[in-house]
Structure formats: structure tokens, C-alpha cells
Amino acid sequence: MKQILVKYSKEQAFDELFKDVILAAGEENVKHVLFHIYSATSEEQPLKELSVLLKERFPEAEVAGTVSAGEICDAKLMTPGILVSAMFFEKADIRVVKYKEVKGNETAVGKQICDEAAGIDDIKAIELIMTGTEFRTRLIFEELSKCREDVQIFGGYAGGHSMDHGEHYIFDENGLTNNKIFAIFYAGKEFHIDVDKSVGWQRLGHHFTVTKADESRMIEINNRPAVEVYEKYLQIDRNDNFAENTFEFPLIASVQEDELLRHTIAVEEDGTLDLAGYVTEGMHIYLCFGNPSLIVSKVNERIEQVRKFRPEAILLYSCSVRKSFWEDFVDMEMLPFGELATTAGFHTWGEVKRNPVTRNVLEYNITLLSIAMREGEPRGEMHPPLRINDSVLRGQASLIKRLSTLVAATTTELQNAYNDLEKMNAQLSYLSRYDALTGIYNRRKIESVVEKRVEETAEKGTRISLFMIDIDYFKNVNDTYGHAVGDSVLVELSKIFKDAFQKFPGGNVGRWGGEEFFALIPNCGNAEAVKFAEDLRKQVEAYSFKGIKGPLTISIGLVTATGQEDRKALFKEVDDCLYFAKQNGRNQVSSLTN
């Protein structure tokens, strides 16, 4: 078998875009063709047109499409668009069955899928493309768990790029729907598939027990309103951007020696938590956090398994929360898979996998599913061992690793000593707002502060200046002096920036990511902001940083706004100004006033 990927564009001729697919489909040894379509857009017309074109051009092919939170092409997150994966099978039997009217009929649909699988000779796997957030998925999975034990079951939930509102649609030549499930059946004596998950989120403290729940609504923990687990232990206010502030501290549900991650979507007035994924009464729940070193370790273990499997094609279904967690480093954990075989997939709103021990089909979150496929015995030589290149994380990850060790070592003590637990919770609350390396606001927090200040600016009719700052040629610092010196430079610069911006009432700065910083000064006009930025630039250039020779410079993008602008457009304008400064020689300020 083989997999060919096409980044679809309506502007290009179909036959030109799909020339490799057309050639492959015409080969004599091709028995079945399966098209997966992963789309950043939920506009029905172009998706329906593409599906119809594929069916007309390849009438025997199967088509299953989903709206996605991120399209994975060649093991990398591609620019939002439409990705088509064409899989060609020489011997396997592939069948896509589309189940409609799922809502309210979850148990019956689960049974239908199970019955269909029972009638297929040499069935090996069932893939589910579905709008899981729309259904009582637990009922579907209870039935699917009754499938023959050696059948692997996996899949992903549809959902768009925006986390603010769901675009939960799957599609084919008949258009968009949120009330169907596409079940893809893989069968054949010589078809081999290996499915597993990677997580890496680490437990915090002792467990709590779910004492009242209704599907994805967790009503009570330890007979108290569920929200108190965040209010008491992390001091997160239910009325202050609750979903955003709890994002970095999801929950782990312990189920039959398996772990199901659940992140909060919203909090109801009575303290009920609305979760991404179901919970049941009696579940043990833990707070947890993403430990980069543990995540990398878990994915490396999986990469080694896939390497030994020797795949011909790979699918990656990765939770959108992982994409947000890694931010600029999202490709890091996926790239090694692409060295083993052509790799495609999407970022999901939930993942589905059958537990290999209990044989139960379960719904996961914050999980990376890797699906390796091949036909027949492995061909060619095995690829040399691979590991994730996590060099970009070493400075910060080592700090978090030490914190993780501290948490693990004191868990028993924390269970018996409430005061110690309160101290640890203060540290965790700090980490939810501040960058672990530099001690200034992290990206999530500074973005929240900017949003609030811009809104206040619009209400007051004043002006606000926004700054994006980039350290010029920072990679050279790490390459020349090492990451320890690079981390030291980031800490020193953060203090300079913090002292400078906090001289202004309401002024603040946060680490945007890597060597980029974002800052704001309310009630500040463009002329004053430009002068301040130039002074700051000169101050940095004149400063002697420990461990490096010669000056270090910064580039600054600056936008002065009224607060009436579109928020996304405003952030882009600041980024564009920074880009202009960097492209025109660096060590300068580029400004724009609205």
C-alpha cells in the first residue's frame, strides 16, 4: 500500500493537482482507494464539490471527510486549508459505511457497526470519523466494545480551528452533516495495523471521586460542587476566564487501569463542569499538567514501536489541546513519524481508541493517536532508531522536569498535610499565569491582559500601544554559548522589559514564545510609544549580558490603537510591524498608528 497527499486548491486544475493520484489509481495492482479529507473550512459548497469530483474521477473510491482543528501533512501542521490523503491498497478490503440519525439512537448505531464488522471476513480494524461532541458517545462505545476482541478500533472527532465555538461536521459528496458516523472497515489476511496512544500529562496530588455526573457534565466531586477542585486547589475563579485558566490543568480520570484526560469547556452557575468527554459516577479524578519531558518520552516510546512495525502509511490523530500546548513547537512530536512513512492526519476534538487489555472502546482527550499500516511482510531495511529533536525545550523543560519530580516526591506528604498542599497549589496557580523560566506573564496570560486593556481603551475613548519584541539572531547565542547562557539572557532581558513597561500605569509584558515578547502601555499615544521603544532598544544594545561577547539587539513592532479594531487583525498588525523591522535590517522599531 501507499499514501499520497494533496494540498487542495480550487484555483488549480484538478488533474494537475491529482496527477500522482491518477497515476497511482491506474496501476494494475490497486484493489481499493480510500480518500480522507481533512478541512480547516466548514463551508459546505467547496467541500461537497471536492467530494463529488473525487467520486466522479475515482468512482470506485471511498471518501470520508472531516472538519479539523489542524491539518497534518507530511507529519507537520500545514497552513490551514484542505488536505486530501489518498490511500492505495493492493490486497486489503476497504469499506466505508455511513450511519445516519445517530442522535438519540446511539446504542442502536453502535450495535449496527458491531454487526457490520461481524459479517466481514478477516476484519482487522474500524476507524470512526464522527462529530463525537454531538452524541452520547459512551452508549456507542459500550456496544463497540462487544466487537471481536482482535479488532482494533480508533478514530477522531470533527471540530474546527476555533476553540470558542464548535464546527463539528463530517462530509462527503452529499454535503456536511453533524448527525452521522463514517465507519471505515479495514480487512484482509495480509493487512496489518498497529494503533496506540501517547499522552504525557502528569498527575498532581491525591485523587477525588466523581459523586454526581451526567455524561459530559461533572456535577459533584467528593459530594461538593465540581468547580471547587479548581477554586480550592488552584485558586481559579469561576467568573474569571475559567476555561482559559484551567486549560493548562486538565483532569485525568482513572478507569480500569487506563487514564482518560478531560479538559474543561465551561462552568455552570451551580458549579457543574462541562467537560470534553464523558465521566461517570465513581470515577477517580486527578488534577494534572503537561510535562514536556514526560510527553517527549512517551512519544519516543511510540516512535520506536512504529519503527519496528515498519509501516507503509501512518495516520496521526492528535488532540487540538496538544496543538495549543506546544504552540510553535507543535511539529516536534510528529516529525519522526514522517521519516518512517508518509504521514497525514488532523487535530481533533477528541480521540477514540480500544484498550488492548480490557478491549473497551474509550474516548480520550489531549492524546496523540498514531496509526501505522502496511500490507504483507515488511519491505526493505528497518529505519535506524529515531528520537524527537527536543533541543528547543531543554532549558525550560529541565526546569519543569525538576518541578515534576518535586510534585511526585511530595504527593504522599501533601495528602496528609493540608498546609503543604496549599503551598504547592500556590506554585501551580503561579505556573498557570507566569512563564516558568523568566517569571513574567506567559502567552496565555499576557494575551488575556491585552484583550481586557484593549476593551477598556475602546470604552474610554483613549489609545493603547502594543509592542512585539524579538531578540535579533538569538539562535546564534544558543549555538555559540549554549542553551544555559541563552536561558540566562532571556531571564535578564525579561527583567529589563518588566522594569521598563511597569513604569507606566497598567503597562505589562509577557513572554510570547521562544525569544519573542508581547507588551502593552495603556493611555499611550504613538509618539510617546515610539520614543519609549527607541529608548528601550538603545538600552538593550548598550547592556552587557553575562556570558556573551559584544552587544545584543532587539527588533520591535509597535501599533497604537483605539480599541475599536478587530482583535485578531490587531495582533496581526503588531506581528507585521515586527516582521517589517526584522526584514529591514533588525535592531529597529517599526510602528503603525490606527
C-alpha span between 299 and 104 (Å, rounded): 37
CB-CB contact of 373 with 35 (8 Å)? no
Lookup: cell for 36: 480522507
The predicted structure's pLDDT at residue 405: 59
The pLDDT tens digits of the residues spanning 311-368 come to: 999 999 999 989 988 888 999 999 999 999 999 999 999 999 999 999 999 999 899 9
Q: What is the pLDDT of residue 162?
A: 79
Helices (H), 171-269: 228-233, 242-246
**Within a 10 A sphere around the Cβ of 55, how many other Cβ atoms?**
16
SS3 35: strand
**Do the beta carbons of residue 4 and residue 21 sit within 8 Å?**
yes
pLDDT digits over 288-304, tens only?
888 888 899 999 999 99
Task: Please give the angle made by the CA atoms of 470, 475 and 551, to the nearest 5 degrees.
Answer: 70
Q: Supply 83's cell numbers.
A: 488536505
d(Cα 465, Cα 457) in Å, to the nearest integer? 10
pTM for the full model? 0.69
pLDDT at 341: 97
Position 408 confidence tier, pLDDT thresholds 50, 70, 90: low
Mean pLDDT of 514-523: 95
What is the Cα–Cα distance from 426 to 421, expressed in whole angstroms? 9
Q: Sorting pLDDT into bands at 50, 70 and 90, what band is 594? A: confident
Take residue 376 and report the three cell numbers written for it. Answer: 504483507
Q: How far is CA 195 from the centre of its chain?
A: 19
Residues 473 and 476: their CA atoms lie apart, in Å, by 6
Contact residues for 387 (Cβ-Cβ < 8 A; gap 6+): 300, 303, 336
